[in-house]
Amino acid sequence: MAIMSFIFVFFFFSSLQPILSLYEDQVGLMDWHQQYIGKVKQAVFHTHKTGRKRVVASTEQNIIATLDLRSGEIFWRHVLGPNDVVDGIDIALGKYVITLSSGGSILRAWNLPDGQMVWESSLHGPKHSKSLLLTTNLIIEKDNSLIVFSNGRLNAVSCIDGEVLWKKDFEEESLEVQQVIQPPGSDFIYVVGFAASSQFETYKINAKNGELLKHESTAFSGRFSGEVSLVSSETVAALDSTGSILLTISFHNGKISSQQTPVSNLLEDSPGLAVIIHSSVTGIFAIKTDAATIFIRVIGEGKLEVVEKTNHETVVSDALTISEGQQAFALVQHAGSNIHLTVKPAHDWDSNLLKESIKMDQQRGFVHKVFINNYIRTDRSHGFRALIVMEDHSLLLLQQGAIVWSREDGLASIIDVTTSELPVEKAGVSVAKVELNLFEWLKGHVLKLKGTLMLATPEDIAAIQYMRLKSSEKSKMTRDHNGFRKLLIALTRAGKLFALHTGDGRIVWSHLLQSLHKSESCRQPIGLNLHQWQVPHHHALDENPSVLVVGRCGPSSDALGVLSLVDSYTGKEFSSLRLVHSVAQVIPLPYTDSTEQRLHLLIDADKHAHLYPKTPEAIDIFQSEFSNVYWYSVDDDNGIIKGYALKTKCSGNVADEFCFDSRELWSIVLPSESEKIITTATRKLNEAVHTQAKLIADQDVMYKYISSNLLFVATVAPKASGEIGSVTPEESWLVVYLIDTVTGRVLHRMTHHGSQGPVQAVLSENWVVYHYFNLRAHRYEMSVIEIYDQSRADNKDVWKLVVGNHNLTSPVSSYSRAEVITKSQSYFFTHSLKAIAVTLTVKGITSKQLLIGTIGDQVLALDKRFLDPRRSVNPTQAEREEGIIPLTDSLPIIPQSYITHSLRVEGLQSIITVAAKLESTTLVFAHGLDLFFTHYAPSRTYDSLTEDFSYALLLITIVALVAAIFVTWILSQRKELQDRWR
């Protein structure tokens, strides 16, 4: 009886743990997900007494979003297409968000509270032109029309249903419309612009029916240039083409008058060209030169008066109407580590409505834009809040001299990502400093036990969830034994580095790189990529790891390069270098020096190779491996692939011993009339191959063709390089190549007739999977190619292996002509699934899965076995035992295989996988406009316990087991004694 009781107790507690594990897997699979909107370029406040206060913003990433003014959280957002650039936004009637996009071709109205689209109008016209949105008179209830100028046409659109009420064409080919103006309370509209860049044109239009009331023009001896600043409803300011003459043009009552003023009269010793700063402040405008910014007031008949001159970086906001007939605007100036925010009335420059100084993080850079809003204080005076956009694309709300909230929206434009290990936890550190105290530890396990036994109250469940999310173990700044805690180092388009903790996604540090900061010597700095520079191992733990940031001073490949070395733990930029050569390609070499610095080759536009770091030890290591260094280049525009090797030190620059000339080994020239390169792919440098042989069903052995020099190239017909459907199936084809980059030998070539890009590909071990569109079948397809080495076919004889008569240990040369065979197959999805990013989970014997970024901005995991070229309709029993899946008409899409679950990574661009120390688990990071991070175990976590494993339950099970053994032993002794007495 006691034994039965023990077995019952044992199985009872054992059966509870899988239930807990299943629950933990479903809850704890996703680690963190962050949403961003990108760099704001326009913003409109909505602060009516009714409803929640919010700000509507449009960004450079073509996003429309509304943010909570209290916290900066996103209420709703819409991501428009890549070509649907937002030209203007505004709020109509207090309940509609009006957006003009696609070069002024699409006008939309969105419901302000929930973001639902109310209507959409198409505004096409006779020619392409500047787009202007005018909603000035919408504050008048009886007037519900929007005035839009786009595509050479002036339109009046009803803001109720989007119907075009009237339209007026401006068909003069040379006319460039600059402003559309409607004076307050009037029934007419001014349209002003330039004709042939030397003639000023003004049109007076009836706002009710679009009738032309008056047309006047005047010629200018020079030419106009740049933007036009609106000074008043009947006055504009402009610069000539030289930037040295300022023109003020008035068109009162249809009569045009102008006045010319040399900029030198207003700003003495002004180097460089002047530009007009866009603003809408009545009576005042600003011009900027390299030396200073000046603010000018227009007095009377075009007379100009300089009201202020500043040498600081200054940003001006648009005018804000604070009361009837009164406007205010904001100035933001930098002064050391502070920024000065000043709000002035438009009619009185000498007085200030607000003047504040806010301490600003220097890593945010300069202020790029400022938008202001007013509110009424308790004493009935005007208060102001300012929304500012910083150089690093971050967004901040300032109010009452403090930063209310901030958003790191620079993370919406990540260029490249690498990882860094966290420091090892030092010995001697008190447990109390890094762990919870004993009471909290026991309390946590008691709560987990109550949850396991289904005795937890709703408060207990909430506490358990809070403990999981805020676990100190997950967010520690030291390494863990499973390799889950790391730093994600991300480089953004703004030239800023971020270090994100994989535990909770928080920003550990951020640094705006000085090397990628705009300067006189580097006018257009661009970040290119990240590389691991120094990765200390256990014998050099006193050194911090560092990363190499590569950039260049311009968009062209021959622009001079810039380098930065940044400490991975602190974000400190300890070295910055402006190169005297360009950077067309960066090649990390598999060699390190005594300080664990990795050697890199930087290839310039002239194919010279420059070695970094420039140290004597590095050159000695490199010279010993000189003959083993090869690389290739791909010229997409001309369809040329070339292979190179090093020759000698640079002949033109003898003084630089770290520069080497290259020699061309081979070249592949694709016919430009029939093929255009669109995609290339290579193996990961750190990919480990578990086994080089593959045992197939009939006990035969196939040897994988393993080469780190394998290159996948995809080309399409030149006509098919555009969007899908731009050509017929007969005019389109897709050609794929597998090329050895050392010899230039084409190992495999395959043509898909009637197919088109874009192509996404992943290359691993001896196989490549690529994704494309089949025009004939009207569906997306995926194909797989596996390549095997036939030169090792003789090693199948076991007896040869026993006596050592085999070639497994014989050296392999890339120049030896390998005998290869390939197997390929094509598959399609049941749904029209478009892959926009493809990567691979990697680690040892764990089953490989493809991670596919879908057009729905989710990440789908697909088992590689579904893309096995040996699949057949009726596999044999031996093939089934091998793991070959029967061939079906299509690839399955299992809803549970979406590792992002119901979440979306808006604007998904890339998926990065990083191996953990556990063989079963891969760390997955996906980024676009959003960031997503999770742990993924394709074959389940067979080699570890879950993070929330209940040690309390294990302890109770052990105690119960010991007690049961002890009770059973006592009962057994008594029974034995009774049997003897009988």
Show me where the domains of the chain are located.
169-310, 321-406, 432-475, 950-981
Q: Is 881 exposed, middle or buried (0-12, 13-18, 19+ CB in 10 A)?
A: exposed
Q: What is the mean pLDDT of residues 537-541?
A: 57
169-310 placed in CATH 3.40.50.970: no
Amino acid at 251: F
Residue 436: pLDDT band with limits 50, 70, 90: very low
pLDDT at position 628, please?
86
Q: Write out pLDDT tens, residues 717-759.
A: 998 888 888 889 998 999 999 999 998 999 999 999 999 988 9
DSSP codes of every residue in 893-940: --GGGBTTTT---TT--EEEEEE-SSTT-EEEEEESSSEEEEEE-TT-
Q: Phi and psi at residue 538, in whole multiples of 5°? A: -65, -25
pLDDT at 794: 59
Digit-coded pLDDT (tens) for 85-127: 999 999 888 889 999 999 889 999 999 989 999 999 998 887 7
Report whether 154 contacts 210 (CB < 8 A). yes
Q: How many angstroms separate the Cα of 240 from the Cα of each of 181, 197, 207, 282, 305?
A: 22, 9, 31, 22, 19
Q: Distances from the Cα of 120 to the Cαs of 86, 92, 169, 706, in angstroms? A: 14, 14, 21, 55
- Peptide bond between residue 613 and the one before it cis (omega within 30 degrees of 0): yes
First to last CA, the chain: 21
* Per-residue model confidence (pLDDT) at position 98: 92
> Residue 470 above 60 pLDDT?
no
pLDDT tops 60 at residue 453? yes
pLDDT at 433 (0 to 100): 38
Beta strands in 35-163 (DSSP E): 40-46, 54-59, 63-68, 74-79, 86-92, 96-101, 106-111, 117-122, 132-134, 145-150, 153-158
Does residue 677 register a pLDDT over 60? yes
Burial class from Cβ neighbours inside 10 Å (0-12, 13-18, 19+) for residue 230 reads: buried
pLDDT, residue 429, reads 37
Cβ-contact 796, 760 below 8 angstroms: no
Q: What pLDDT was estimated at residue 438?
A: 57
pLDDT given for residue 280 in this prediction: 76
Round to whole Å and give the CA distance between 796 and 350.
92
Minimal CA–CA distance to 670: which of 720, 628, 714? 714
Surface-to-core class of residue 889, CB atoms within 10 Å of its CB (0-12 exposed, 13-18 middle, 19+ buried): exposed
What string of DSSP letters covers 341-391? EEEEETT-TT--SEEEEEE--GGG-SEEEEEEEEEE-TTS-EEEEEEEEET
Q: What's the token pair of residue 439?
A: 């009471």
Taking alpha carbons only, the member of 186, 184, 173, 129 closest to residue 155 is 129
Q: Could you tell me the pLDDT band of residue 9, with boundaries at 50, 70 and 90?
A: very low
Least confident of 339-353, 459-473, 825-839: 459-473
Adjacent-strand bridge partners of 820: 789
Contact indicator for 261, 304 with CB cutoff of 8 Å: yes
Mean pLDDT of 447-451: 74
In angstroms, the CA 281 to CA 296 distance is 11
Per DSSP bridges, beta strands 354-359 and 338-345 are antiparallel
The Cβ of residue 605 has, within 10 Å, a number of other Cβ atoms equal to 14
**Residue 259 to residue 241: CA distance in whole angstroms:** 16
Q: Is the dihedral of CA 38, 44, 45, 50 positive or negative?
A: negative
pTM of the model: 0.85
- CA 261 distance to own-chain centroid: 46
Using CB atoms within 10 Å of the CB of residue 384, give its burial: 0 to 12 exposed, 13 to 18 middle, 19+ buried: buried
Is the pLDDT higher at 837 or at 878?
878
Lowest average pLDDT, out of 177-181, 738-742, 845-849, 955-959, goes to 845-849
CB atoms near residue 866 (< 10 Å)? 18
Chain mean pLDDT for the chain: 82
CA distance 777 to 755: 9
Q: What are phi and psi of 466, to 5 degrees?
A: -65, -40
DSSP letter at 273? -
Determine what percent of the chain is predicted with pLDDT higher than 90. 29
Q: Region 361-374: what's the mean pLDDT?
A: 90
State how far the alpha carbon of 197 is from the alpha carbons of 191, 238, 247, in Å. 16, 12, 14
